[in-house]
Homo-oligomer: A and B are copies of this chain.
């Protein structure tokens, strides 16, 4: 490959490695989709590119001789098929091509692999707008989230994984001279070490965040020398297909086999995920999705797996400075992408005696009503609501919301019409109160905009229940509100022990749902919501093996 590419991206890589260790704000890809940054016509062109894919074969991949062309995507905004077809390959073809590419890719130096991957991200940058429209019309995210989550934020997460992998591969010397004095003579050995990649890596995507949740595992495996097969959710292929196309182009341009990174789509009549996952040549699996399938993945023998499943996220309300600001912040968090984020709060633990707000004790019922009012106010704001709520990816989510929850109804109307998309599949947050004693009612993720209010004896019980839910059923986020330093320490300690990150006292323009690259570890790996984390060292070191060689020195 061209040495210029390494020079070109070394600075980016060095900055990214540094950012991993500073954990302050760092973003390589601008999240603002403004014309000043991305170009005057970027939005229009991106939309045009997206439209051009509809009802066509996606022919950008460097994967020859497909067995069929298939596609099952449909827009949650239009409730119409996208009509895009992708090349389908039998599992054995994908594996054979991956194996062949592996023999070459594993020998590429870490710095070269990293440079190729950073280059691919720079190329993807020029396609953020079409990826945004692709994401919008597969996941139902509103445009701004589609742009940010699938574009710059995903690219930053990918860069983070590249940086973490590159750092681990270069942290120890490639060789060393070892000399041991043994009385009158000494033994001298020349030693060297090789980071041997584990082998074929399968990355299984989800329907709601088709690039953001896929690229960390994909880039982590690639930088550590493993060939990758990406199997997206059949309803959300296009965003990641564009990313893979760019990776393949960079590989091919630099003389590498593009099969280092392949797209694997399900056939129209059967899913291929299990066949891929169980294949003896597949050594690494990254998975985002349901707990049930995730547990199956985790139990597969002989695989190294990285999962993000589901959790029950808690809000603990103890005491606040300004209750209105708090409920506004929380109303936004539960409404954002209609509660379809893995970080969205679900279980609101509120003490029966009420919540202290400044000097006042606000009664429980007033707190609950304020929360409901804040949600209604957001949903009924036509300027904001469509851009916050987006649409519902899966019809089953709408059914779940409409079916309701047995418990006292606080807010049951989930009707919401998107003024821009008359056919959009939508629903806004509903709120139910369930009994603290009825743990079954709030111990599973109710995916979508469903909020459960749980009246507790006191904050101690709130924390105890939130921690029990997290340790037993998993949790990806916790929002806690307290002005009492002792309560804060207690929550940190108890929720921390359950492997749940906690955001304290968020108000204004920052939300518990958001996890920033290079700073927030996303999913900790420390509870049943998942066994891995974007991006801690474990996320990359498990993808290769240190093997040593030694021989008498010169």
Contacts and interface: CB of A to CB of B under 8 A. Distances in A.
A81 interface: no
A25 B178 contact: yes
Contacts of A501: 547-550
A373 interface: no
Contacts of A546: 521, 524, 533, 536
A220 to B, nearest CB: 14
Contacts of A502: 549-550
B548 A520 contact: yes
A533 B510 CA distance: 42
Contacts of A526: 196, 198, 545, 547
A66 to B, nearest CB: 30
Given A524-B547, A525-B545, A552 B506 contact: yes
Copies in the complex: 2
A309 to B, nearest CB: 14
A369 to B, nearest CB: 26
Which of the listed residues A23, A500, A526 has the most CB atoms from chain B within 10 Å of its own CB? A23
Contacts of A25: 178-180
A177 B542 CA distance: 30
Interface stretch (A187-195, A231-239, A348-356, A380-388): A187-195
B23 A551 contact: no
Contacts of A551: 503-506
A270 interface: no
A550 B196 CA distance: 37
A3 interface: no
A538 B542 contact: yes
A299 to B, nearest CB: 7
A176 B519 contact: yes
Given A505-B552, A547-B521, A24 B538 contact: no
Given A191-B519, A547-B524, A22 B536 contact: no
A358 interface: no
Nearest to A168: B537
A24 B179 CA distance: 7
A502 B533 CA distance: 33
Contacts of A187: 508-510
A535 B497 CA distance: 26
A402 interface: no
A482 to B, nearest CB: 10
Interface of A: 20-25, 106, 168, 171-173, 176-180, 182, 185, 187, 189, 191, 193-194, 196, 198, 299, 301, 492, 496-497, 499-510, 516, 519-521, 524-526, 533, 536-538, 541-542, 545-552
Given A106-B497, A187-B508, 20 more contacts: A21-B171, A23-B172, A25-B180, A178-B516, A187-B510, A189-B510, A194-B496, A196-B496, A196-B499, A496-B547, A496-B549, A501-B548, A503-B549, A504-B551, A506-B552, A507-B552, A524-B547, A536-B541, A536-B546, A538-B542
